[in-house]
Every structure is written in structure tokens, then in C-alpha cells.
Structure 1
């Protein structure tokens, strides 16, 4: 493995028995997705996938090899090309050929990210039991991704479900969670690194007052957390800690164990250190009796191209165990192979 100075780009070489290099993979930034240094054309990938669907049985390994080593833009081109070549959506073909948690994971990964997240939000809102475990995906979409992605999700939601995301939150979530979620998804945060220290100090005081008086649904709290840019909020949280001694998420937790306290902690983590939140999602999904495959899949699919290396580190800090080993121990078959491919543990 070779580390390239000045970036997080890594290159992996796989060798044949003869010792000659067959495929070189690269991992960029803090994600774990491995992409071949020489990527086949979308036509070649589409033909490979179609071939995997043919015959007496589906070639799951071939599907993993192609889709598990392509980034979002490459997967988009494959979807478009497959539709043009075979007059059938690739997602439909995958749905027909695969099954179980493996099918869910591959389809989530292959789908357009905005449509994927719109559907995840809709599933969360339409489920009969809407607790924090279900609603946290809306916070993730609003706070752990760019403002541009949130806008794309809102547009996809309107196209897919013929109403706005805000409307469905209003119709399906009760106060005070509704107030926060509508504020979060309606926001368009400024995406540059601009910080006003005076504002940070004033708003740290305002947040502390709301926490001290247990008025967590105060309009000012909603306004601050749903409109300020990420760098501004991280500075505000740091000012809070310096002045009042505890991290803001700790003081929120000390207010109680209700849904609002839990929601606000997720908001703070997704803004301040999303890797901590997704490490906890993965840990909660696999520790204890049974495995929550939907949450496990969502976390890995959402972050494999973004910050899964950081998630892996936070997981170790939280649980004193290796994330890869935990996933291997709680999953099986093609589902496990696909997740481990996204985690960069399979070449």
C-alpha cells in the first residue's frame, strides 16, 4: 500500500500468482471505498452486470465486484447506460435478481443518493412507530451532509411522494420533535468557513440558558441549530464547553432521557462530529441481541465515500473493538461480503 503525501489518497495493488499486478485500487479522502485506478467504461460495467444476471443463477460476486468499487458519479453513469442498453432500470434488475438484506444494501448503494435519502426519510415518517431510532435518519440528512444534498433530497421527495418533506413531517410527527425537524430540513446552511466569534459566544450563552431551564424547544434553540453554518456552530459548541465546563451534548443528556433530548444530541453530533454519530449507529445495530441490518446498512452506505475511516476510529474509541471484526461477526453471506467491500476490507 502506498501513501501519497499531501492527501488521504491511498493506492492498493492486487497481484496474481505470477506476481504481476492485476488491479490497482485507490481510496480518496477519509472514505473506505476502493476504486480501480483504471475504471472500465459504463458500457463495460453494464455488460458485466447484465452477464451476472444471466444463466441458471445470479453471479453475486460479479455484482459486488462492479458496484462495490464505483463511486457515486460512476454508479450514476452505469444506471444511465444500463437503462439505455437494456431498456430496463438497473435498480429493477437488482430487485429481481437479489434478495434479503443483500438486495436492500446493493439497491441503497446503487440508487441516486438524493432519491435514496428521500425514500429513507419517507419510510421513517410512514412507519407506525416513529421513535428517535426511526426519525434520526432525517437529522442525518439535514445535518451530516451538505446543504446542496439536502435541497436535492427535498426535490426528490416532492417528485417521489407528491408532497414536501416538510408537509409529511408536519402530518406524521408530533410536537416538539416536529418543530425541530421542520426547521432542520427547511434550512440552507451557508457552506463556507465563516465564523463570527461574538455571535458564537452570545449563542453559547443562549443555548446554555435554554438547557439550564430545560426549555430545549425554545425558538432560539431551533433557530440557532437549524440555520447557522457548520463552522459557526462548531465554534459555538467550543465556546459553550470553555465557558460552562461540559460539552453541550453532555448537558443536553443531563436534562433527561426523553425523545427531545435524544434528538438534540443527534443534531449536535451530526453537526460537530458526524463520525461519532454513525459509529454509535453501527454499534447500536450490532451490539446486543440480534442485528439491526437496516441501520447497519444505512450507516455504511451513507459514509463509505465520506468519512468511514473516521467512523472506524470513533467506533474503536467507543467500544474498544474493531469495526470490521464486529461487522464480520454479525453478518453473513453476500450481505457481509458487500458491506466489507464498502468498508475497504475486500479487494
Structure 2
């Protein structure tokens, strides 16, 4: 896709002064109690690049890492948001992936959200960062050790960052791909998932949009409906995520945000990950999709579902109603 201007809610602060910001943050943590409002005020209104400069200025003038100081002063979800904001995008992604696989159990949703939605370059960089922080252990090793079966194969395929990123559509191949998927799923007993992997993880976006149209013609069903009826569990989730991201990333993230907040309780890990990761990329588009899909603003949903300083910083990242 052609690069469009920044569609984020977080944009570069004018009259930026890294040293002044560093002092303001230091002041917010000195003495008894912490001034969370001041921390939100600075960090939610600076770009990732500006935050890196604040980190440098802080280290220079205080002789300590800003992230370490904030980490010892803050707690809970607010702390998670703040620490996420201090990281470069691929570092945050690598950190989230690592956390998703730490200890017992795996947060499959995290693996799916990140790997299904990032570009080849983004995935390559995440791979490099991961290898550094894990002292040579690759993300593929980690994923392979933590997942299994066809789900693992799809993730490993995504990790190779080999998707065609041209915008060429091969009409004959699109028809063939649609037939192959149809014959691998709807048209037979049992499902040949490898066919889905080959098409969904390898072809470019324009080509896949065409495959989805052809699929609808052949089967009379939307590809998403077929995946739901043919698969289950994490495999269904990852294929659906790939299809949704191909169709519209902002709509995919809007749905993930909605599901993280609707009903009882909030899946804070999902809410935080998307708000932090997309604030500077496409939050404006996610907000408009959210309103279109659910008839309510993302702002109102966050406001009703969170509280305290955590709510305040998320609402700043969300930008007004």
C-alpha cells in the first residue's frame, strides 16, 4: 500500500525540548508520591522518536534509565502503558511477543495480533530485536517451542517475512487460488489447511482481495464464513486475522478493541497493546472504523471501561471523541 501521511493521534510536539521534558519527568517522581498527570502530559503527547531523545536527556542529567525509574514508581496497567510508550515499535512488539510466551501457557492472541498485521520489514526488524534481547534465541525457535501443529506452521510462515508485497494481480492465478482454497475446504471432507497457508501467507494484498472476490463467486460464501466453518481454535483465529488485516487493518484493530472491552471485564493486555502500538500509525482510522462498526466512539468505550490514570493516558492516546 502507498504510504499515507501520519494517521495517528500522537503527532510531533512543537517547540520540543528533550531536556525540559526530562526534568519535568524527574520532578514528577521526586519526593513523596508520583505526579501521574505530569507523566501522562509529557509521554502521551510526544512521538516515539521524541521519547527516545527524552530518554537520552534523562540518562545524561540524572545518570539513570528513565524506564527503570518509572518502573519503580508506577504500577499496574498505567505502568504497562507508560513503559510501552518508551519503546521503539519493533522493540515493543518483540517485548510483547516474549511476554506472551513466558512462563506457563501462551497468549496466542498476542502472537496473532502482531504477526498477522505487520509488514515484511516490520517482522524482519522484530526478528532482529528479539534475537538480541534473547541472546541469540530466535523468535522462530520460541514460537516453535510454544505452539504446535498447523497453527505453528502458519506463524513460522509469517515469521519468514516473505509475503509478496507488490501490487500485481495475476487474474488466472487468483481464480486458481480461490478454487484451491474452495477445494481444500468447503468442497471436501476434512480441510487441507496447507492450501490456505500457501495462499493467505504468501500472496500480496491486491491479489488476495481478488481471490476473496473469486472465492465468493465460486462458493457463494465469504472467505471468513468458510474459515469459521472449516477450522477452530487458534488456527481459525490466525487465518481470520490474516484475512481481516488484508481487507482493512484499522477495521481489524477496531474489532479487537471492541472485543477487549465489551461484556464483563476488560482484556487489558489487548487494549494496551493496540493503543500503544497504533497511536502513531492509524489510530484516526481505527477510531472512524470503530464508530462505523459499533455506532459508538472508541473514546466512550475506553472511558466506560477503565479508570484512574490508566483511563486518562489511554484517552490521551485515543485523542478526542
On whether the aligned pair clears a TM of 0.5, the verdict is yes
Cα displacement string for residues 290-328 of structure 1 (whole angstroms, at most 9, x for unaligned residues) = 122111111211222222222223323443322211110
The reply on whether 1:52 has 2:25 as its aligned counterpart is no
Name the CA shift for 1:45/1:235 in 2 (closer, same or farther; >3 Å). farther
The reply on whether 1:166 has 2:108 as its aligned counterpart is no
Report the CA distance between 1:278 and its aligned residue.
Answer: 1.5
How many Å separate the matches in 2 of 1:136 and 1:214?
A: 28
How many Å separate the matches in 2 of 1:216 and 1:128?
A: 30
CA contact (8 A) 2:200 2:239 kept: no
How many Å separate the matches in 1 of 2:189 and 2:58?
A: 54
Within the candidate set 4, 19, 41, 1:43 is matched to: 19
Please, which moves more after superposition, 169-178 or 302-311? 302-311
The reply on whether 1:80 has 2:56 as its aligned counterpart is yes
Gaps in structure 2 of 5+ consecutive residues: none
3-state DSSP of counterpart to 1:176: helix
Name the CA shift for 1:217/1:276 in 2 (closer, same or farther; >3 Å). farther
Report the CA distance between 1:48 and its aligned residue.
Answer: 2.1
Alignment of 1:251-266 (within 5 A): 251-266=226-241
CA contact (8 A) 1:139 1:270 kept: no
Task: Tell me the equivalent position of 1:24.
Answer: none
Q: If the length of structure 2 is used for normalisation, what is the TM-score?
A: 0.90
CA contact (8 A) 2:100 2:108 kept: yes
The reply on whether 1:247 has 2:222 as its aligned counterpart is yes
CA contact (8 A) 1:253 1:261 kept: yes
Report the CA distance between 1:45 and its aligned residue.
Answer: 2.1
How many Å separate the matches in 2 of 1:263 and 1:214?
A: 22
Task: Tell me the equivalent position of 1:136.
Answer: 109
CA contact (8 A) 2:119 2:161 kept: no
How many Å separate the matches in 1 of 2:175 and 2:49?
A: 41
**Structure with more of its chain in strand, by fraction:** 1
CA contact (8 A) 1:189 1:230 kept: no
How many Å separate the matches in 2 of 1:284 and 1:325?
A: 14
Report the CA distance between 1:217 and its aligned residue.
Answer: 5.4
The reply on whether 1:30 has 2:23 as its aligned counterpart is no
Looking at both structures, which has the greater relative contact order when contacts are Cα pairs under 8 Å and sequence separation is at least 6?
Answer: 2
CA contact (8 A) 1:83 1:89 kept: yes
Within the candidate set 62, 81, 97, 1:121 is matched to: 97
Within the candidate set 159, 169, 172, 1:185 is matched to: 159
Within the candidate set 227, 236, 259, 2:202 is matched to: 227
Gaps in structure 1 of 5+ consecutive residues: 1-6, 9-27
Q: If the length of structure 1 is used for normalisation, what is the TM-score?
A: 0.83
Task: Tell me the equivalent position of 2:170.
Answer: 196
How many Å separate the matches in 2 of 1:91 and 1:113?
A: 15
Name the CA shift for 1:66/1:191 in 2 (closer, same or farther; >3 Å). farther
Cα displacement string for residues 150-203 of structure 1 (whole angstroms, at most 9, x for unaligned residues) = 111111111112311111111111112111111111223344433333322221
Report the CA distance between 1:337 and its aligned residue.
Answer: 0.6
How many Å separate the matches in 1 of 2:168 and 2:111?
A: 25
Task: Tell me the equivalent position of 1:295.
Answer: 270
How many Å separate the matches in 1 of 2:142 and 2:152?
A: 10
Cα displacement string for residues 250-273 of structure 1 (whole angstroms, at most 9, x for unaligned residues) = 211122543322221112112322
The reply on whether 1:150 has 2:123 as its aligned counterpart is yes
Please, which moves more after superposition, 119-128 or 173-182? 119-128
3-state DSSP of counterpart to 1:227: coil
Task: Tell me the equivalent position of 2:316.
Answer: 341
